[in-house]
């Protein structure tokens, strides 16, 4: 069985902030629509805290939650205890989207542990710094090639906040053959 293609999907501020108090520190409805359009019909892989911030399985997608909590269960989602388990699920390999992209949607630790395994990154770059407590990990930008960038300005302004400039960016790994093979290390991740 071949493993699915992994892509990272993240919205981050100029200072790499991706969250605050288990939520997003900005309000961008267009980014949520973008997220939905990219992930619909695909498997999404997330950590437990990301799932808890969303609050429910997302419809139209295979929801996979990676957690170290052995008794954690969620109706409508698949709970696994390692990324290796998530990548080898028979339920994913039997779906029509098996050879399509599967998205890592957070949190920070799962991003950190999957950058070396991912072939693409879909990044919403918010062109402003935000206060936060969760950050997207550093990565070697020389390993990635920008294939797309769309500039946007937020239309909806909660309160009297100024509009936000943000970019939808797609990065592709320059050398996909150089991906880290998790099988060399046995089980890839234990969270």
pLDDT of residue 157: 65
pLDDT of residue 4: 76
Give φ, ψ of 112 to 5 degrees: -55, -40
Per-residue pLDDT reduced to its tens digit, 59-99: 999 999 999 999 999 999 999 999 888 888 865 544 554 44
List 153's β-bridge partners, or say none. Answer: 165
- Residue 35 exposure: Cα atoms within 13 Å on the Cβ side: 17
Between 60 and 160, the more confident residue is 60
Task: State whether CATH 3.90.850.10 applies to domain 5-185.
Answer: no
User: Quick one: what percent of the chain has pLDDT higher than 90?
Assistant: 74
Give the burial class of 158: count Cβ atoms within 10 A of its Cβ; 0-12 exposed, 13-18 middle, 19 or more buried.
exposed
pLDDT of residue 184: 40
User: Quick one: what percent of the chain has pLDDT higher than 70?
Assistant: 83
Question: Domain spans of the chain?
Answer: 5-185
pLDDT of residue 156: 65
Q: Exposure pattern of 166-182 as b/e (b: 16+ CB <10 Å)?
A: bebbbbebeeeeeeeeb
Number of H helices, E strands in the chain: 5, 10
Per-residue pLDDT reduced to its tens digit, 93-131: 445 544 488 999 999 999 999 999 999 999 999 999 999
Between 19 and 184, the more confident residue is 19
């Amino acid at each position: 069985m071949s493993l699915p293609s992994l892509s990272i999907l993240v919205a981050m501020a100029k200072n790499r902030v991706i969250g605050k108090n288990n939520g997003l520190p900005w309000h961008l409805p267009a980014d949520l629509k973008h997220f939905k359009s990219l992930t619909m019909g695909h498997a999404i892989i997330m950590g437990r805290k990301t799932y808890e911030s969303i609050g429910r399985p997302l419809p139209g997608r295979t929801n996979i939650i990676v957690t170290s909590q052995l008794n954690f269960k969620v109706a409508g989602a698949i709970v696994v205890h390692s990324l290796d388990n998530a990548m080898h699920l028979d339920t994913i390999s039997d779906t029509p989207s098996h050879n399509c992209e599967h998205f890592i949607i957070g949190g920070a630790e799962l991003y950190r542990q999957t950058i070396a395994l991912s072939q693409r990154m879909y990044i919403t770059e918010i062109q402003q710094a935000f206060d936060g407590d969760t950050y997207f990990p550093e990565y070697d930008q020389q390993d990635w090639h920008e294939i797309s960038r769309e500039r946007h300005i937020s239309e909806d302004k909660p309160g009297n906040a100024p509009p936000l400039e943000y970019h939808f960016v797609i990065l592709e790994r320059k050398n996909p053959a150089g991906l880290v093979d998790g099988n060399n290390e046995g089980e890839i991740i234990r969270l």
